[in-house]
Chains A and B, each alone.
Chain A
Amino acid sequence: MIKRIYRDIVRTLLIISISSLALGGGLLLLNIDLGTEFIEFGMWLLIATPLAPIIFVLGESLSRRDPLMLIVVLIVLGIIIANLAFYGFGSIPFLTLHPLPW
């Protein structure tokens, strides 16, 4: 059941991101600058989509009380957060809407 939900989430995110990219490309073809916004949104969503399986595995490791798996997942999430932090959390669109204290 959960696996099916998670699979559907990944598929939905992929469809939305590719659709957004396609729409953005089409708008740029018509010389409409809004196309750039759609392309950027599609890019962010595509880059974020692989997070879904990681979060799924995090949930699985917590529900199965698998400490080794939990440690591995946390390490991977830590690397992702560190990579984001290196370039500044302000680079992430939705975070810039609510400025962080630092």
Chain B
Amino acid sequence: MYIPTAILIGFVTGLGAFLGSLLGLGGGFLIVPMLTIFLGIPIKVAVSLSLLSILANSISASIVYIDRDVVDYRLGLLLESTTMLGAIAGANLNLMASESYIYIVFGAVLIYVAYRMVAGKKYEEHGSRGRTRRNLAIGVGVSFLAGLLSGLLGIGGGILKMPILILLLSLPTRVAIGTSLFMISITSATSTYIYFINGVINLVYAPYAVLGASAGAQLGSRLGFRIEARYLRVMFSIMLLIFSILMIGRGLGI
């Protein structure tokens, strides 16, 4: 009974990672709702599988940026110090909280992401900002929130990290992506460890989730440039809104 479900999980995580990578998003925003809504996987298990998938994908993707020497390790680790604390808090919060609250919080975050996808402007580098103490302090603080959401909801956190790196700290986009991926790998490893050690990750599902997401992300990154981004964003935004309604409804017991 487990194996067919495990294979379906591989397909769903692959689809989520594929769709997410078309827009340079981590798959978490899609993987968790798809696992819970389409396959009825308990949300805490779905979150843990999503983090596992993100871990594998972020390590794989970051290798390319490491090779090209476009990772700001100093800044990344500075921000990661609080991101990790947030991830630890988020994962433990997930373990303690009831599923209803997690569904509602996830649904609310999906609404924000859906809005950002259609209303958010393309990141522009602001030369007037930079690594002032104030900006670094803000960055460190927001990084804690990014880690908290990552550990709690099974997302990568890039949706918060990228604006910090580009808009606030004036990193060039390519360096911001590399640094963000470097950070996401550490954050997701931190949370995945907590879920793993607490027995939340289903070991039968784990290989399929990782393999499916890896294959999906690879395919998505190769095909992404061939598809008009603007239409994708609108389509995804609508999909995320539908997911958010379903997730919040589930949390409210509707």
Q: Which residues of A contact B (CB under 8 A)?
A: 3, 6-7, 10-11, 14, 17-18, 21-22, 24-25, 28-29, 36, 39-40, 42-43, 46-50, 53-54, 57, 60, 66, 68-69, 72-73, 75-76, 79-80, 83-84, 87, 91
Contact = CB atoms under 8 A, between A and B. Distances in A.
Contact of A47 (B55, B85, B182): B55
B66 A3 contact: yes
Interface stretch (B28-36, B160-168, B196-204): B196-204
Nearest to B84: A79
Main secondary structure of the interface of A (DSSP, over half): helix
B81 A79 contact: yes
B243 interface: no
Listed from nearest, the 8 A-B pairs whose CB atoms lie closest are A25-B207, A21-B207, A50-B185, A50-B189, A50-B186, A57-B73, A87-B197, A72-B77
Contacts of B210: 18, 21, 46
A84 B190 CA distance: 10
Given A14-B59, A43-B201, A47-B189, A73 B77 contact: yes
Contacts of B78: 72
Contact of A83 (B3, B6, B194, B201): B194
Contacts of A46: 52, 55-56, 59, 189, 192, 210
Name, among A40, A50, A57, the residue most crowded by chain B CB atoms within 10 Å (CB to CB): A50
Contacts of A40: 203
Interface centre among A6, A46, A57, A80 (most CB of B within 10 A): A46
B91 to A, nearest CB: 10
A75 B211 CA distance: 33
Contacts of A69: 73-74, 77
A71 to B, nearest CB: 10
A46 B3 CA distance: 22
A84 B69 CA distance: 30
A3 B211 contact: no
B196 A22 contact: no
Contacts of B232: none
A13 to B, nearest CB: 8
